[in-house]
Amino acid sequence: MVVSVSSPATAVQVGTDPTLPVSDGVVALAGGLTILVLLGLSAFFSSSEIAMFSLPSHRIESMVAEELPGLPGAATLQELKDDPHRLLVTILVGNNLINIAMSSIATGLLALYVSSQSLAVFVATFGVTALVLLFGESAPKSYAVENTESWARRIAGPLKLSEYVLLPLIVTFDYLTRQVNRVTGGRGEIESTYVTREEIRDIIETGERAGVLEEDEREMLQRIFRFTGTIAKEVMTPRLDMKAAPKDATIDEAIQACVQSNHTRLPVYDGSLDNVLGVVHIS
């Protein structure tokens, strides 16, 4: 509503204009775009954490050895993984600075429209938290899980650049966290993660491709994993049912014993089965 008051000498207009000044509109636009950029950076750091710490060290070594012209980044990846504690500090410092900046900017923008400062802080905190959880954490981390190796290659360079840009903060927090770890009984270093069954299989296949393992050696190692759910009785013969040959048996007798027992290996004993001298293998 606008009320006009006039007199012969002057005319005064009193009221409230619902439109924002141009300067406030520009600030709101710039602030919104800045939040979007920061949200993208938050997604970058969140996905980097998953990709970098999910990629096995042996796979990185293979990537360095197989470095292709169209797939750079393996050497930088190896350099970052050589110090996992510093890498983690870099990611956490960058991500937290970005999230704090987003919350501060959102609060400032809302203050243009909301008269209550406490309400502006509450709405900004809630809104930024929702955005970060969805677009800065869940979605990018899911992507990194499904594209670990390719994404790790892409983000290695930008992560290294982030380390240089944030170097003073990273050096400070790197030192402080190591000291806190030692005081609380930790090692001050990030322990190596255990090797999973899938990683061992990957190592075996990589060894075969590199010519370190022969095909029959790979097959023998792969058979080990098949014993996980195997009962001993399925692959072993009870002592009472075991067929064996005395040490003075002839070759023909040993062959006949193998044929009758339907086995290719026949224990050879001296006196009793408690004193096995060796095994005859007939193929």
> Which CATH number does the domain housing residue 255 bear?
3.10.580.10
The answer to pTM > 0.75 is no
Do residues 30 and 169 share a domain? yes
CA separation for the pair 123, 130 (Å, rounded): 11
CA separation for the pair 223, 217 (Å, rounded): 10
Q: Residue range 143-147: average pLDDT? A: 90
Confidence of residue 1 (pLDDT cuts 50, 70, 90): very low
- The token pair that represents 195 in the structure block: 């090797």
Domain ranges, residue 258: 237-283
**Residue 14 within a domain:** no
What is the count of structural domains for the chain?
3
Residues 6 or more apart in contact with residue 151 via CB below 8 angstroms:
47, 51, 143, 144
Do residues 67 and 106 share a domain? yes
**In terms of DSSP bridges, do strands 245-246 and 265-270 run parallel, antiparallel, or are they unpaired?**
parallel
CA separation for the pair 43, 37 (Å, rounded): 10
Within 10 angstroms of residue 270's Cβ, the number of other Cβ atoms is 13
**Residue 4 within a domain:** no
**Residue 2 within a domain:** no
Residue 212 per-residue DSSP state: S
pLDDT tens sequence across 36-72? 999 999 999 999 999 888 887 777 777 777 665 555 5
Do residues 217 and 242 share a domain? no
Whether the pLDDT of residue 241 is over 60: the answer is yes
**Residue 16 within a domain:** no
Do residues 66 and 126 share a domain? yes
Do residues 209 and 256 share a domain? no
Do residues 92 and 165 share a domain? yes
Boundary (domain end) residue, out of 148, 183, 218: 183
Within 10 angstroms of residue 173's Cβ, the number of other Cβ atoms is 17
**Residue 202 within a domain:** yes
Do residues 211 and 112 share a domain? no
Do residues 118 and 44 share a domain? yes
Residue 36's identity, in one-letter code, is: L
**Residue 12 within a domain:** no
| Strand extents, DSSP E, the chain | 2-6, 11-15, 245-246, 265-270, 272-281
Residues 6 or more apart in contact with residue 164 via CB below 8 angstroms:
none
pLDDT over 90, % of the chain: 20
Q: What is the mean pLDDT of the chain?
A: 79
**Which residue in the block uniquely carries the two structure tokens 């002592």?**
239
Could you tell me how far CA 178 lies from the centroid of its own chain?
A: 22
Do residues 95 and 175 share a domain? yes
| Rounded (10°) CA dihedral 74, 79, 81, 83 | 180
Do residues 58 and 156 share a domain? yes
| Rounded (10°) CA dihedral 152, 156, 159, 163 | 140
Whether the pLDDT of residue 117 is over 70: the answer is yes
**Residue 128 within a domain:** yes
Q: Residue range 197-220: average pLDDT? A: 73
Q: Cα-atom radius of gyration of the chain, to the nearest Å?
A: 35
Do residues 174 and 266 share a domain? no
Do residues 39 and 168 share a domain? yes
Residues 6 or more apart in contact with residue 179 via CB below 8 angstroms:
188
The runs of H, that is alpha helices, within 147-196 are: 148-165, 167-183
**Residue 11 within a domain:** no
Q: Residue range 265-269: average pLDDT? A: 84
> In this structure, are residues 101 and 92 in contact, taking their beta carbons and an 8 Å threshold?
no
